[in-house]
Amino acid sequence: MAEENKEGILCPICGNGRIKVSPDNSYIHCEFKKVEKQGKEFVDVGECKFRIFFNQSKSIGRTLNRAEVKKLLNGEGVKNAKGDTLYLDKENEAFYTRVEWAEKKPSTDLL
């Protein structure tokens, strides 16, 4: 359960940083997340790596709003029209989300 008070919501990963919204409104992140460009790559150099993008078109096919991101932080699921549900996943350090698909599609034969 994410703690919330008038100073903001605390990071579910490190428990210390406050959750911030990026200047371009494209993602939320822990205030202790820091990325540096090293050569051609961006590398995490901060105390915490937590970040979730509002745009979840590659997972549940749409963009989240702020209320939905808060739901994720509280451990609640966010559904799309098909019933697929997006959850916070603290173990997934790449995206910090996981999807439970409404309909499991069986594997098919390799012909």
Q: How far is the CB of 88 from Zn ion (least distance, A)?
A: 13
Is 11 or 78 the residue whose CB approaches Zn ion more closely?
A: 11
Q: How many angstroms separate the CA atoms of 90 and 12, rounded?
A: 8
Q: Residue 69 interacts with Zn ion (CB under 5 A)?
A: no
Q: How far is the CB of 31 from Zn ion (least distance, A)?
A: 7
Q: Residue 10 interacts with Zn ion (CB under 5 A)?
A: no
State which of positions 24-43 bind Zn ion (CB under 5 A).
30
Q: Residue 12 interacts with Zn ion (CB under 5 A)?
A: no
Q: Residue 96 interacts with Zn ion (CB under 5 A)?
A: no
Contacting residues toward Zn ion, per CB under 5 A: 11, 13-14, 17, 30, 48, 50
